Amino acid sequence: MAADAEAGKEFKAHANTYDFFIGLMKWGTILSAITAIIVVLIIAN
């Protein structure tokens, strides 16, 4: 039973880390796309 409780804690920690990572990837992708658009507009002018 103690092992089940420990596994639940580990899963919760894993889920939090995964959510943080996915959030970083999402915002990183958005910021990279915006930066690329700005660079293209600067080069085009």
| Higher pLDDT, residue 7 or 25 | 25
Q: DSSP of 1-45, one letter per residue?
A: -HHHHHHHHHHHHHHHHHHHHHHHHHHHHHHHHHHHHHHHHHHH-
Domain range summary for the chain, segments of one domain joined by +? 1-45
Q: How far is CA 14 from CA 2, 21, 31, 38, 40, in A?
A: 18, 10, 26, 36, 39
Is the pLDDT at 1 greater than 70, yes or no? no
pLDDT by residue (tens digit) across 15-44?
999 999 999 999 999 999 999 999 999 999
Predicted local confidence at residue 2, as pLDDT: 56
